[in-house]
């Protein structure tokens, strides 16, 4: 016989199933929810009634599928049930987005970032001010904002709150959960940007094909080099990681990287590395903190016109990336690789080097080349990654157990 605690757990799990089904496809009928979740009709009825009474979901009527008879009753998330804010920290800008419980973007603020270097305290003060401004503009209260999801390139601690190293702040470490606690009760989560990109790409590809995607990698090219990997062979749900690909060693005691080490992949493939190689600057020169995209475009123009050093700079970048991918495949197994970021504008110049670097792997030589594609909307993928992961967490961690916290059995 089930104990009280086990009954509560099952109830929570069933609520989570219904919420996940609605997140996968909005506007579902009672029958569709029962099919999607595998739950009994009576269980779905009880759960939808609970969620309606809690003002989490709402009903809408739609014409009968056969064009006659009674209208169909469809369930949707109630948009004002909860809110989430997303913060994207990039090399030259900060972007703040507010979304409602349905996942609809309701407001966005973009600010150019000071590339001359900032103290961590000033940087955090700016984030706090922008989030407060965003909440004021949208009318979202302290209690209604239940999640803040932040993304950055760099190195994120296992607590998903602390930024250990980043291209923006270098070695200045920040616990963003603690930094935002005075202003917000919301759960604050920090993720590597490329992890969010890989998650969004994996979900999109799985929905498009209707087929399982065992593994996928997203490799971001730009001021810094980021990698996200999704492993969907996990027994419960896809697991996303962001290994420190850009700061893997490409060559021992090689070029100076922004992280302070020598020989990192990024020290050969980041924008500052391409600039340094194209103009024959000594590889131990301190890297530029920020390289305008227009400068890299000029080097690409020279390369396409046959300039030897410009061609070499992009090919060298490709070789470093290819060698790194060869190591990745040796560790994780073969997988599709999607290149993203502003650097894919120059993919044609890097491709020969990438192929050369990959060919160093015995597995690649035997089994053939990897499936490689390009995705030009990295910003959109970061947003989708924030949205997918954050709204799923709200459903599972905030909404699903809500009735239990109120004393339900």
Give all domains of the chain, ordered by start, each with its CATH number: 4-77+400-405 (1.10.10.10), 81-185 (3.30.420.40), 204-376 (3.30.420.40)
pLDDT per position as a tens digit, 353-368: 999 999 988 889 899 9
pLDDT for the residue 343 = 97
* CB half-sphere exposure, 363, CA atoms < 13 A: 13
Question: How far is it, in rounded angstroms, from Cα 190 to Cα 128?
Answer: 15
pLDDT per position as a tens digit, 37-95: 999 999 999 999 999 999 999 998 877 666 666 788 899 999 999 999 999 999 889 99
Q: What pTM does this model have?
A: 0.92
Q: Which two tokens stand for residue 397?
A: 């961690």
Q: With helix as H, strand as E and coil as C, how does the chain read?
A: CCCHHHHHHHHHHHHHHHHHHHHHCCCEEHHHHHHHHCCCHHHHHHHHHHHHHCCCEEEEEECCCCCCCCCEEEEEECHHHCEEEEEEECCCEEEEEEEECCCCEEEEEEEECCCCCCCHHHHHHHHHHHHHHHHHHHCCCCCCEEEEEEEECCEECCCCCEEEEECCCECCCEEHHHHHCCCCCCEEEEEEHHHHHHHHHHHHHHHHHCCCCCEEEEEECCCCCEEEEEECCCCCCCEEECCCHHHCECCCCCCECCCCCECECHHHHCHHHHHHHHCCCCCCCCCCCCCCHHHHHHHHHHHHCCCHHHHHHHHHHHHHHHHHHHHHHHHHCCCCEEEECHHHHHHHHHHHHHHHHHCCCHHHHHHCCCCEEECCCHHHHHHHHHHHHHHHHHHHHHHCCHHHHCCCC
How many residues are recorded in the chain? 409
pLDDT for the residue 69 = 64
pLDDT < 50 regions, the chain: 1-2, 4, 407-409
pLDDT per position as a tens digit, 143-170: 999 999 999 999 999 999 999 999 888 8
């Amino acid at each position: 016989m089930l104990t009280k605690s086990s009954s509560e757990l099952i109830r929570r799990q069933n609520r989570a199933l219904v919420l996940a089904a609605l997140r996968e496809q909005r506007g579902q009928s009672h029958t569709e929810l029962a099919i999607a979740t595998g739950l009994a009709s009576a269980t779905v009825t009880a759960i939808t009634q609970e969620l309606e009474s809690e003002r989490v979901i709402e009903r809408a009527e739609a014409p009968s599928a056969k064009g006659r008879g009674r209208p169909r009753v469809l369930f949707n998330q109630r948009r004002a049930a909860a809110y989430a804010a997303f913060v994207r920290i990039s090399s030259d800008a900060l972007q703040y987005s507010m979304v409602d419980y349905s996942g609809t973007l309701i407001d966005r603020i973009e600010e150019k970032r000071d590339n001359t270097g900032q103290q961590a305290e000033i940087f955090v003060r700016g984030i706090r001010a922008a989030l407060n401004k965003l909440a004021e503009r949208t009318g979202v209260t302290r209690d209604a904002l239940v999640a803040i999801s932040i993304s950055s390139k760099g190195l994120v601690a296992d607590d998903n709150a602390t930024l250990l190293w980043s291209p923006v702040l270098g070695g200045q470490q920040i616990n963003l959960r603690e930094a935002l606690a005075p202003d917000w009760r919301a759960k604050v989560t920090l993720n590597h940007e490329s992890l969010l990109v890989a998650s969004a790409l994996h979900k999109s590809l799985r929905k498009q094909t209707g087929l399982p995607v065992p593994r996928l990698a997203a490799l971001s090219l730009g001021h810094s080099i980021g990698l996200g990997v999704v492993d969907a062979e996990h027994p419960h749900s896809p697991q996303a990681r962001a290994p420190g690909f850009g700061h893997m060693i490409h060559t021992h005691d090689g070029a100076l990287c922004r992280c302070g080490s020598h020989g990192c992949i990024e020290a050969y493939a980041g924008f500052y590395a391409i600039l340094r190689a194209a103009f024959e600057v000594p590889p131990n020169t301190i890297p530029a903190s920020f390289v305008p995209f227009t400068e890299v475009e000029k080097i690409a123009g020279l390369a396409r016109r046959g300039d030897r050093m410009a061609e070499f700079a992009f090919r060298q970048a490709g070789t470093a990336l290819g060698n790194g991918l060869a190591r990745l495949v040796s560790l994780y197994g073969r997988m599709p690789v999607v290149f993203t970021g502003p650097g894919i504008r120059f993919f044609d110049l890097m491709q020969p080097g990438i192929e050369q670097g990959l060919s160093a792997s015995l597995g690649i030589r035997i089994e053939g080349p990897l499936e490689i594609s390009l995705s030009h909307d990295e910003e959109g993928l970061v947003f989708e990654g924030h949205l997918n992961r954050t709204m799923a967490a709200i459903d599972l961690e905030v909404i699903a157990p809500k009735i239990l916290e109120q004393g339900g059995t």
